[in-house]
Amino acid sequence: MHDFPRNSNRSENREFVLIERNQIIQLTKQRNFWKLNAIQYLFRKLQQKFNRPVFIMLITRYPPTENNSLRAWSAADEYLLKEVQQNSLDKKAVAIFNDRFGYLGCHLHKCNPWHVSDFKSQQISLELNLKRNGVNVESGKFINPLDSLPELIDIAILSIPKSLDLYRFYLNQISRSMAENGIALCGFMTRHFTPQLLSIAEEYFHDVSQSLAWKKARVLTLKEKKESPAYDAVEEIPFTFSDGGNESLKQYPGVFSSGNVDYATQFLLGNLTIQPDENCILDLASGNGVIARAVQLQKPDTEIHLLDDSYLAIASSKLNLSTGNVHFHWGDSLDEIDDTEFDIVVSNPPFHFEHEVNTEISTALFREVAGRLKPGGRFVCVANKHLGYLPTLKKFFTRASIIKENRKFVIYECKKGGK
């Protein structure tokens, strides 16, 4: 728990105290939210004592995590907020890019900012945190990364993503929408610094300065936008499918496995045969849609669904599967898809989110898949060997086994009832 004083010349002069749910759990060693009321009571008392308004904001992660070391915001987010508050925000158009769990959006909600996020889960997280803190959500303020902002922006705030391509893509979007005297503030943890953070920023702005480090974080301040350089966001990845078809897969920046088709995916595709009675398939966590495309080449009439949390991934897969009986779903859960049941679900599931390694998302997806297979249906997925998913899969499926492995990867096949 920590204090976060707002800039004193802001019209609303009150003190914010931000609390992460995980920290409350650590504090109480229990998951009882009545404890939060006790904390609120404490802060009311503090407010009386110091004769100064105090406001508690509870910021939690979505999806939730069992891992108490994973935080809902970073020191880079805190630093960004400190830097933003050096500026007068009155009547300024503000846009927040890549706010992971909604820390920035919640704190800056009074500015009525635009929110640009690639991941549906980011959007859900922000909405949940705003609601939880009693703020009405204006859904029209969410912009996907491929759209232009509807107005010129005075202050752009970017939590720098892991992918440098996506960083460049966001800077391109920011500079296109920036007002003449606008500024962009970009936060990152010092351990993630690379000189390219500066050189890419210099492609778009004349004035690029880097702050001193604070809590192992830094902020870049970008001013005086340049004429945007010509920029083609779509990357082409040549790939030979196992039936011999040569194609160039297209993808937007930040989408999984830039440069080549992931080796785990290649291993899966080399060992995947769709059976004649498998007519409805889900490519789960579909990225650029390479698995769905391989299925389509094997069995062109198949009804294919693709689900991914990343908007840019789904937009990429639309470029790669432009014909056939194909359904695209932007979302982080199978709830995003009506009640379709599948003959087969195929996946190279996520175990990273940005710089974090986290298998909880995969586990949640496995559980959901088990509820969406037709009787006798199967789930085929590939994973790094060290992740050791077999015991987890055995919990959700009637049968689960390893059907193929090499030095690095394993392919699991799981069935629910039936054949």
Q: Which residues bind ligand SAM (CB under 6 A)?
A: 256-257, 262, 265, 285-287, 290-291, 307-310, 313, 332, 348, 350, 361
Nearer CB in complex with ligand SAM: 79/351: 351
Nearer CB in complex with ligand SAM: 165/309: 309
Interacting residues of 312 by C-beta distance below 8 A, sequence separation 6+: 118, 145, 146, 166, 251, 252, 253, 254, 255
Q: What is the DSSP letter of 335?
A: G
Nearer CB in complex with ligand SAM: 278/309: 309
Nearer CB in complex with ligand SAM: 22/266: 266
Least distance CB 23 / ligand SAM (angstroms): 24
Nearer CB in complex with ligand SAM: 93/285: 285
Q: What is the DSSP letter of 61?
A: -
Nearer CB in complex with ligand SAM: 14/352: 352
Residues 242, 132: Cα–Cα separation, whole Å: 49
Residue with tokens 């059976």: 275
Least distance CB 382 / ligand SAM (angstroms): 8
Paired sense of beta strands 303-308 and 114-116, if any: unpaired
Residue 311 · residue 145 · CB < 8 Å:
yes
As given in the structure block, the two tokens for residue 86 are 């050096």
Paired sense of beta strands 399-405 and 409-415, if any: antiparallel
Residues 101, 179: Cα–Cα separation, whole Å: 27
Residues 403, 177: Cα–Cα separation, whole Å: 51
Least distance CB 288 / ligand SAM (angstroms): 6
Least distance CB 358 / ligand SAM (angstroms): 9
DSSP 184-221: EEEEEEGGG--THHHHHHHHHEEEEEEPPPBTTEEEEE
Question: In Å, what is the CA distance from 242 to each residue of 271, 275, 293?
Answer: 9, 16, 11
Residue 112 · residue 34 · CB < 8 Å:
no
Nearer CB in complex with ligand SAM: 97/409: 409
Nearer CB in complex with ligand SAM: 94/264: 264
2-5 sheet: strands from edge to edge: 2-5, 15-20, 54-59
Nearer CB in complex with ligand SAM: 172/257: 257
Least distance CB 170 / ligand SAM (angstroms): 16
Least distance CB 339 / ligand SAM (angstroms): 18
Least distance CB 349 / ligand SAM (angstroms): 6
Residues 212, 216: Cα–Cα separation, whole Å: 9
Strand partners, 413: 380, 401
Least distance CB 329 / ligand SAM (angstroms): 9
- Return the sign of the alpha-carbon dihedral for residues 183, 186, 187, 193: negative
Nearer CB in complex with ligand SAM: 200/282: 282
Least distance CB 418 / ligand SAM (angstroms): 25
Least distance CB 246 / ligand SAM (angstroms): 18
Least distance CB 402 / ligand SAM (angstroms): 18
- For residue 316, how many other CB atoms are within 10 A of its CB? 27
Residue nearest to ligand SAM (CB): 287
Residues 2, 20: Cα–Cα separation, whole Å: 10
Q: Terminus-to-terminus CA distance in the chain, angstroms?
A: 53
Nearer CB in complex with ligand SAM: 155/304: 304
